[in-house]
Amino acid sequence: MILTPYGYDNAFLMLGVGICLIVLALTLGGIVLPLLAALLGILLICFTLWFFRDPERPLVADATGPGVVVAPADGQVTEVVSLAHYPALNGPATQITIFLSPVNLHVNRYPVSGIVRDVTYVPGKYLMAFNPKASEENERSIITVETATGLIEFRQITGFLARRIVYDTKRGDVVRIGERFGMMKFGSRMDIIVPASYSVDVRVGQRTRSAFTIIARPGTLTA
């Protein structure tokens, strides 16, 4: 199983702790304590390998058209909200929120192709990721990309468990839809903001897969 480089620091530490627990189990006397230590070590190793996995994710074939927006993260759509005016897009917009649980794939991929016009890191709180206030109060990164059909913004947002955002995006980068750009560790949320003229292809409660699920495209707003 391939581990994501974005998580090497945490993953290697957790794997080391898991191995130490298993070694400790071999040195303990009795039955109960060695069994518990070995079980905890095995569970920690399995969780680490699962959480920091980085499988290949081919881009969905329908995402070749200009302006198509794919999911930047695996998870569940929790909000599709109309915004009367969104300053970064200079007009009305739609916000689509994807919630990531600890068992979801946490490697993030660009939802669109284009040129990165702005990248901002904002320190903040660690409210539950499904709290509507998390978008404005939690620690987050804000990335704005100019596409062939207009500006798109997406935000990595920490949750109660997610305490670190990782991204390697810089202003001026030329990015391609479906390529990796970072991850959020241990549960979090992703907001994607598109112009109100875009049609939304997902609904609240729907599961998404990064680079595979189309969430919006240029058109007339339908959600």
Q: 164 — phi, psi (to 5°)?
A: -150, 130
Position 30 scores a pLDDT of: 82
pLDDT tens, residue by residue, 145-174: 999 898 999 999 886 655 678 999 999 999
Confidence band, pLDDT 50/70/90 cuts, at residue 219: confident
pLDDT tens, residue by residue, 47-71: 999 989 999 988 887 777 788 999 9
Please give the structure tokens belonging to residue 162.
């997610």
Residue 164 three-state SS: coil
Query: Catalytic: which of 113, 135, 188, 210?
Result: 188
The answer to whether 188 is a known catalytic residue is yes
pLDDT above 70 covers a percentage of the chain that reads 91
Q: Of the ranges 31-45, 67-81, 180-194, which one carries the lowest mean pLDDT score?
A: 180-194
Average pLDDT for 110-135: 82
Q: 143 — phi, psi (to 5°)?
A: -120, 125
Distance of alpha carbon 69 from alpha carbon 110, whole angstroms: 9
Q: What is the mean pLDDT of the chain?
A: 88
Confidence band, pLDDT 50/70/90 cuts, at residue 223: very low
Confidence band, pLDDT 50/70/90 cuts, at residue 96: very high
